[in-house]
Amino acid sequence: MIWATPLIILTFFGALIYCFVIKFSNVTKMGLQWKLLTSGEGSQEGISPFETFCTVVAYRVAVGNIGGVMVAIMFGGPGAIFWMIITALVTSAISYAENSLGQIYKVRMDGQYRGGPYFYMEHGFKKKKVGKIFAILFALLASIAVPFLVTGPSASNIAMAFKNSFGVSPVITGAVVAVLLMLVIAGGVRRIASFSTIIVPFMTIGYAIITIIVLVSHASSIPGTLGLIISSAFTKTAVSGGMIGGAFSYGVKRAVNSSGSGFGETPASAAAAECAHPASQGLVNAFSVYIDVIVCFCSGIMAVISNCYNVLIPGTKVFNGKLSQYIHIGTGSAVMKAQAASGTAGVVWVQEGANTAWPVVGGAIIAIALTCFAFSTCIAYYYEGESGIAYLFRHLPEKNRMKFIWGVRIVMPIMFFVWANVSASTVWAISEIAFGCMAWLNLIALMVEIPVVKKVYDDYMAQRKAGVEEPYFNPRKLGIKNCDVWMEINKARIEADAGGPAEAVIQADAGGGEQAESELLTE
């Protein structure tokens, strides 16, 4: 029910609305996005744009980019790959919106910048009580569901991959990775950011290379495979079998689940960046969706071109163990029939596809790639949990707040070990429930705050059009409240433009603040 049609519609068409709000800059400003990504530095309080980008990519590129794509193919056919790509590109607009909002309403806490959906829900809603309820619910999901439950698919798929390629027991795999996880997250956001800048480029480039090897091995099948993916997205072929509804539904569902656009996972990391204008981080992190698109496509085409995939009859909801429920069982590997008999879809399909081009070694490389994807994502999930805890206990002294944060650092690796020894279907179900709840809350918030996002975007582009090399954000000038940290961040430039101290600007604006706030609440 959580992933029912209304949420799919809200996600896809909400993203289309934001495409118009930001004038499709999520796909037309790639040059600017790259420039912003490679410029800027960190500070004592914030990390650099590139570190933030790598941390956000760590969120996006996860087991859903491999195992999730296979699930989409099993239920929606090869056409689901097409809709995953289209949806990911469209929903990059939502990524812009949520990450810019994360920056707009960020605060200083514990010697660093903190932000996230809970802050823009509480401070951005005109109905303050409603915003506070949304914020608390989201923060609870972020601090409990994300680090403890949503890590399930990552743990399960890592264990499955190592068992399939190396014969390693899930108990051993789970224990080793859990210890490594603890070592990284114990260092907080800076260690996470430093680790991400190393592992993210390595894992994405490596995955692209193994995909090229598979494509070269099956070069003669490339035109037919691409044709099958496109035709299956729109027509009733023997493989898609009237599956246009399923292809679209599962393609959208898995694309959103894979990239995390709209879930509100990445704004906390985006808020940690040092920058002069929120829109710049929105553009940088919208660009990160392209990496997600590339990895999803690599996974899908490796399975389809090697014929290592199975497709259920359209409309099948529950697998009863009979092969007659399938309209296609892959012949690229003998393993596919066993996968069909067990009703399983996951990383094994991609491993078998890689093995057709590079026996044994191909599957092993996929297992290592999956481990990198899943491990980096779990690290990013931890930071989402830490940020949620920081919000919920923001009124406590830092020493007491850190006790709760350390609780997450200790319990999360334990839960990772548990999930490594649980069936994939169970953990995917739990993960989707948590993601679905977060998506509902965050997408509603993003629809409510369209005017703020548009105002900030227009301000940024107006400054660039006027020749300002590095636009800066003055929330008071735009009439946006509850983000005074920006008056301190851009103090020198605000003073220069105002012809006086920034403190005087704040006091002058505050003179009519109570009246303005009253007007907002009565609208």
Tokens describing residue 264:
């509100």
The lowest-confidence range among 148-152, 312-316, 322-326, 516-520 is 516-520
Q: Can you give 223-274 as a three-state secondary structure string?
A: HHHHHHHHHHHHCCCCCCCCCHHHHHHHHHHHHHHHHCCCCCCCHHHHHCEC
* Least confident stretch, 137-141, 310-314, 432-436, 490-494: 432-436
| pLDDT of 447 | 95
Q: How confident is the model at residue 442 (pLDDT cuts 50, 70, 90)?
A: very high
pLDDT of residue 56: 87
Asked whether the predicted pLDDT for residue 267 surpasses 60, the reply is yes
What pLDDT is stored for residue 241 in this prediction?
Answer: 42
Determine what percent of the chain is predicted with pLDDT higher than 90: 51
pLDDT, tens digit, 9 for 90 and up, residues 324-376: 899 999 999 999 999 999 888 888 899 999 999 999 899 889 888 888 888 88
Least confident of 90-99, 156-165, 206-215, 444-453: 156-165
β-strand 112-114 against 310-312: which pairing, if any? unpaired
CB 22 within 8 A of CB 280: no
Amino acid at 38: T
Distance CA 327, CA 241 (A): 8
Mean per-residue pLDDT of the chain: 86
DSSP assignment letter at 141: I
Query: Can you tell me the mean pLDDT for 449-465?
Result: 97
What pLDDT is stored for residue 245 in this prediction? 64
Listed residue (81, 82, 58, 86) closest to 71, CA to CA: 81
The more confidently predicted of residues 276 and 237 is 276
Copy the structure tokens of residue 278.
């929120």
| Other CB atoms within 10 A of residue 2 CB | 13
SS3 for 6-33, per residue? Answer: HHHHHHHHHHHHHHHHCCCHHHHCHHHH
The arithmetic mean of pLDDT across residues 460-478, rounded, is 95
Please answer whether residues 459 and 475 qualify as being in contact, where contact means their C-beta atoms are separated by less than 8 angstroms.
no
Query: Helix (H, G, I), strand (E, B), or coil: what is residue 186?
Result: coil
- Among 69-73, 360-364, 505-509, which stretch is predicted with the lowest mean pLDDT? 505-509
Give dist(CA 299, CA 366) in Å, integer: 10
Q: What is the DSSP letter of 439?
A: H
Amino acid in the structure at residue 146: V
* pLDDT value of position 43: 64
> What's the mean pLDDT in 402-418?
94
∠ CA 107-505-476, rounded to 5°: 55
- In eight-state DSSP terms, residue 440 is H
At residue 486, the 3 state secondary structure works out as helix
| Highest mean predicted confidence (pLDDT) among 30-44, 322-336, 430-444 | 322-336
Q: How far apart are CA 288 and CA 52, in angstroms?
A: 10
pLDDT at 501: 60
Torsion sign, CA atoms 213, 218, 224, 228:
negative
C-alpha 464/C-alpha 33 separation (Å) is 13
Confidence label for 3 from pLDDT (cuts 50, 70 and 90): low
Instruction: Find the DSSP H helices in 306-397.
Output: 335-342, 347-357, 361-392
* φ, ψ for residue 468, nearest 5 deg: -75, 120
CA angle in degrees (0–180, nearest 5) for 327-4-440: 140
CA distance 432 to 63: 13
- Quickly count: other Cβ atoms within 10 Å of residue 16's Cβ: 14
- The pLDDT score that the predictor gives to residue 329 is 95
- Residue 511 pLDDT more than 60? no
Closest by CA to 73, choosing from 231, 333, 310, 257, is 310
Kindly give, in sequence order, each residue whose CB lies less than 8 Å from that of residue 92, ignoring residues fewer than 6 positions away. Answer: 15, 26, 27, 259, 261, 286, 287, 289, 290
Q: Beta strands 107-109 and 112-114: pairing type?
A: antiparallel
Name residue 112's beta-bridge partners.
109
3-state secondary structure of 114: strand
Cα gap 443→95, rounded to integer Å: 11
DSSP strand pairing (326-329 vs 107-109): unpaired
Average pLDDT score over residue span 93-121: 94
**DSSP reduced 3-state for 3:** coil
pLDDT level of residue 516 (50, 70, 90 thresholds): very low
What value does the mean pLDDT take over residues 400-410? 94
Phi/psi of residue 310, nearest 5 degrees: -125, 150
Closest to 278 (Cα-Cα) out of 106, 33, 450: 106
Residue 512 scores a pLDDT above 60: no
- What's residue 4's pLDDT? 63
CB proximity list for 169: less than 8 A, separation 6 or greater? 163
The whole-number pLDDT of residue 2 equals: 61
Query: In this predicted model, what pLDDT tens digit does every residue of 274-287 receive, in sequence order?
Result: 999 999 999 999 98
Q: Identify the pLDDT of residue 165.
A: 75
Q: What pLDDT digit, counting tens, does each position of 29-38 carry?
A: 989 998 898 8
Higher pLDDT, 135 or 318: 135
Q: What's the pLDDT at 180? A: 93
Q: 239 pLDDT exceeds 50?
A: no
- Pairwise CA distance, residues 352 & 143, whole Å: 37
Nearest to 67 by CA among 371, 449, 307: 371
CB atoms within 10 A of CB 483: 24
Among 357, 67, 82, 64, CA closest to 212 = 357
pLDDT for the residue 425: 66
Tens-place pLDDT, residues 187-203 = 888 898 888 888 888 88
